Amino acid sequence: MSSEINETRRRILDATAQSLVESRGRGAKMGEIAKAAGISRQAVYLHFASRSELLIAAFRHLGDSLDVKSRLAPSRTAKTGVERVERYIEFWGSYLPEIYGLAKALLIAQDTDAAAADAWRDRMVAMRDGCRAAIDALVADGMLADEWKRDEAIDAFMALLQVSNWEYLTQECGWTNERYIERMKKLAERSFVSWPGQSDIPGPRTASPGY
Amino acid sequence: MSSEINETRRRILDATAQSLVESRGRGAKMGEIAKAAGISRQAVYLHFASRSELLIAAFRHLGDSLDVKSRLAPSRTAKTGVERVERYIEFWGSYLPEIYGLAKALLIAQDTDAAAADAWRDRMVAMRDGCRAAIDALVADGMLADEWKRDEAIDAFMALLQVSNWEYLTQECGWTNERYIERMKKLAERSFVSWPGQSDIPGPRTASPGY
DNA sequence: CTATCAATTGACACAGTGTCAATTGACATA
DNA sequence: TATGTCAATTGACACTGTGTCAATTGATAG
């Protein structure tokens, strides 16, 4: 019985995820989702109070089904900071395409719905843990470049991995996902890692520009 | 007389820009814009066929008033590739906060309106010229890091400068605009510039990860 | 046999965009 | 002074999509 109601709920969540993946995050009206789940539009409201609540639940639901924990294992068990950063980017690069449709819908909903904004921010906080751990692993190895304060490096690493950057590079620039992963690794390493014996880059010299 | 009709048009465009800057790109209904311009909602449609057409026109209008050309001069007249990159980031970092509200509205409109998407893409193409010139100046100095192909470096440079990254760092992370500019310069230099005598980073060594 | 509960149908309120028609008021021309 | 033009106004309306409400159906459990 309670499995019955969960069954419908699950069908709605799956239909939501599928509709959003297909539409690349665009559209996916309540009516379409309901149709895809094989129920009436109003019935959706018996399970979710609003569209954004549905989006949030669907995002969590998808996350659950993707087994994030074991996907993160290679990063968490990395032996060096550099490896941890690399593994984290590999994780993110393989995870992102799978959540993209839903993530995009949530990102769009953010603009009009405070609950969606909170939900997204909540996910980003979770992601930040991964980024923080990677940067801290660099710090522990003494390999975070001098120019970066830890917290700023975490911010910048998060920024690099923004959904919108992936979207831009893969959709607008035509990068494959593998290229994205590989280039992001290079970018992150060049940006954040100082290699032993590497003399510091003459950045400060140019601090007082001629205009 | 024809200055009369342009006068109203200009008032609408200014009101649009102002409303959007104030609301950080959110909202700004046709009714509010009309009120801000001191005319009726319907009168706006006498000058612009749709909301997105208005947004596009307002964006161009704002761009015109900001004298982009002279702001770009320091970058265009830079003597070295590195300086050109720095000046370009300084330009962009001072320009972005001024267009942010409107840019954000256009970015949001993009999700439902093809014309807005085209308009935005058009602006990005223009911006790409600046990024290309900066990267090419590095290439000319022989200072683009070996790991980057020119075109990929341009893509990545563009990605770094995405509005969404600025938004994330300044709104979510609390960076000041000066910090954004300064850190972006560092990030870009570390990422793209190879300094004479700098030995290559042992990236390829880690190309076959252990999992 | 009846109570319960998910789901259905159909109607409706609300916000926001975009359209249409009739009207006003200023200004120019004959 | 009469006429035409044109920007702008008012008010009504169609359309889309979200969210609410009420009455009804149909299956299942006690």
Q: Number of helices (H) and strands (E), helices first, in chain A?
A: 10, 0
- pLDDT score of A22: 86
The answer to whether B148 and B124 have CB atoms below 8 angstroms apart is no
The better pLDDT of the pair A97, A195 is held by A97
Q: Does strand D come within 7 Å of the CB of B113?
A: no
Contact call for B201 and A195, based on CB within 8 A: yes
- pLDDT score of B112: 84
- pLDDT score of A71: 97
Contact call for A201 and B191, based on CB within 8 A: no
Q: Does strand C come within 7 Å of the CB of A4?
A: yes
Phi/psi of residue A144, each to 5°?
A: -80, 125
Q: Which nucleotide has its C1' atom closest to residue B41's CA?
A: D9
Chain B touched by A14 (CB under 8 Å)? no
User: What percent of chain A is modeled with pLDDT above 70?
Assistant: 91
pLDDT digits (tens, 9 = 90+) for B25-51: 887 899 999 999 999 999 999 999 999
- pLDDT score of B211: 36
Element spanning A142, H or E: none
Q: How many CB pairs under 8 A join A and B?
A: 109
Contact call for A193 and B175, based on CB within 8 A: no
pLDDT digits (tens, 9 = 90+) for B127-175: 999 999 999 999 999 999 999 999 999 999 999 999 999 999 999 999 9
Q: Worst-scoring range by mean pLDDT, A162-176, A194-208, B134-148, B159-173?
A: A194-208
Report residue B92 CA to chain centroid gap. 7
Residue A199 has pLDDT above 90, yes or no: no
Of the candidates A175, A158, A201, A127, the one whose C-alpha atom is nearest the C-alpha of residue B191 is A201
In Å, what is the separation between the CA of A165 and the C1' of C29? 61
Compute the distance between CA of residue A197 and CA of residue A146 in angstroms, rounded to an integer.
13
Compute the distance between CA of residue B102 and CA of residue B16 in angstroms, rounded to an integer.
8
pLDDT class of A190 with cuts at 50, 70, 90? very high
One DSSP character per residue, B75-98 reads HHT-SSHHHHHHHHHHHHHHHHHH
Of the candidates A183, A155, A178, the one whose C-alpha atom is nearest the C-alpha of residue A97 is A178
User: What percent of chain A is modeled with pLDDT above 90?
Assistant: 81
Best of A72, A83, A111 to substitute, by most chain B Cβ atoms within 10 angstroms, is A111
Which three-class secondary structure state does DSSP give residue B195? coil
Task: Please give the average per-residue pLDDT across A178-206, as a whole number.
Answer: 82
- pLDDT score of A170: 97
The better pLDDT of the pair A125, A112 is held by A125
Going by C-beta distance under 8 Å and a sequence separation of 6 or more, which residues neighbour residue A103?
A25, A59, A96, A163
Amino acid occupying residue B58: A
- pLDDT score of A200: 56
Compute the distance between CA of residue A62 and CA of residue A59 in angstroms, rounded to an integer.
5
The better pLDDT of the pair B64, A78 is held by A78
Which phi-psi region, left, alpha or beta, contains residue B25 (left: φ > 0; alpha: ψ -120 to 50)? left
- pLDDT score of B113: 86
Residue A135 has pLDDT above 80, yes or no: yes
Chain B touched by A70 (CB under 8 Å)? no
The burial of A50, by beta-carbon neighbours within 10 Å (0-12 exposed, 13-18 middle, 19 or more buried), is given as middle
* Alpha-carbon torsion angle A99, A102, A103, A104, nearest 10: 120
Q: Worst-scoring range by mean pLDDT, A22-26, A91-95, B102-106, B201-205?
A: B201-205
Q: Which chain A residues touch B173 with a CB distance below 8 Å?
A: 155, 158-159
* Mean pLDDT of chain B, nearest integer: 90
Chain A touched by B113 (CB under 8 Å)? no
Best of A191, A194, A208 to substitute, by most chain B Cβ atoms within 10 angstroms, is A191
pLDDT class of A210 with cuts at 50, 70, 90? very low
Q: How many residues does this entry show for chain A?
A: 211
In Å, what is the separation between the CA of A5 and the C1' of C4? 14
- Indicate the residue of A86, A124, A175 with minimum beta-carbon distance to B155: A175
Largest alpha-carbon pair distance within chain B?
A: 75
Compute the distance between CA of residue B208 and CA of residue A100 in angstroms, rounded to an integer.
27
Enumerate the H helices of B111-142 as residue ranges.
114-140
Residue B201 has pLDDT above 80, yes or no: no
The answer to whether B105 and B99 have CB atoms below 8 angstroms apart is no
- pLDDT score of A113: 87
pLDDT class of A112 with cuts at 50, 70, 90? confident
Q: Which chain B residues touch A173 with a CB distance below 8 Å?
A: 155, 158-159
Residue B204 has pLDDT above 50, yes or no: no
Residue A203 has pLDDT above 70, yes or no: no
The better pLDDT of the pair A103, B209 is held by A103
Q: CA–CA distance from B6 to each of B13, B32, B33, B49, B63 (Å)? A: 10, 20, 17, 16, 17
Q: Residues 26-55 of chain B: which lie with beta carbon within 7 Å of strand C?
A: 27, 29-31, 42, 45, 49-52
- pLDDT score of B208: 40
